[in-house]
Amino acid sequence: MNAPEPSLSHLAEVVPPLEQIVVACAIAQSQRIGAQPLIRGLDDAAFAALCARCLPGVPLTNGRSASAPFDEFDELFALLCEHASPRDELSVWIAAAIATAAQRDEHLWQDMGLPSRRELSAILNLRFPSLAALNDRDMKWKKFFYRQLCLRAEVPICKSPNCADCSDLAVCFGPED
């Protein structure tokens, strides 16, 4: 006997609201700007599973692109996955959405289509707490991620030995309106 299809209310229990909002916004933003794939790093089966779990009844395809791959997607995706907690499928999907959006030009929360930086910070603290904790001075998330990647690669990127003395302080820590 086959198990019944889960109801929408059951899916809401499986995928907490914050995670649903983040995934839905990331996909909607990608569709709005015509990005292909909508979320990089997920094969067709993983993308279909993500949509079935987080956006039931919404017919989407991830698409493919013949264009060059994003420069730092793999490194950022790996960094996020290393800090995922719990290390489950949903964290991997969210890491892929964040790493995809990070390749765009606006603030990360805007690139993900989120209402504000607050939702981005909340999901990072919830799903990637050890990484989020390293951002103890509230640096802009995209700047923070790229700083982490440069530190890992032992590539100096900063003009100054510490943030307090840097001429780019406002660029890294200023408001994100």
State residue 175's pLDDT score.
73
pLDDT digits (tens, 9 = 90+) for 83-133: 999 999 999 999 999 999 999 999 999 999 999 999 999 999 999 999 999
pLDDT digits (tens, 9 = 90+) for 20-34: 999 999 999 999 999
CA-to-CA distance for 126 and 85, rounded, in angstroms? Answer: 8
Looking at every residue in the chain, the average pLDDT score rounds to: 84
CB 120 within 8 A of CB 109: yes
- How does DSSP assign 14-51, residue by residue? HS-HHHHHHHHHHHHHHHHHT-SSSSTT--HHHHHHHH
pLDDT digits (tens, 9 = 90+) for 38-92: 999 999 999 999 999 999 888 899 987 545 556 789 999 999 999 999 999 999 9
CB 155 within 8 A of CB 75: no
Top pLDDT among 161 and 22 is at: 22
Give the single-character DSSP code of 113: T
Q: Which pair of tokens denotes residue 22?
A: 């983040």
State residue 1's pLDDT score.
42
Report whether pLDDT(3) > 60: no
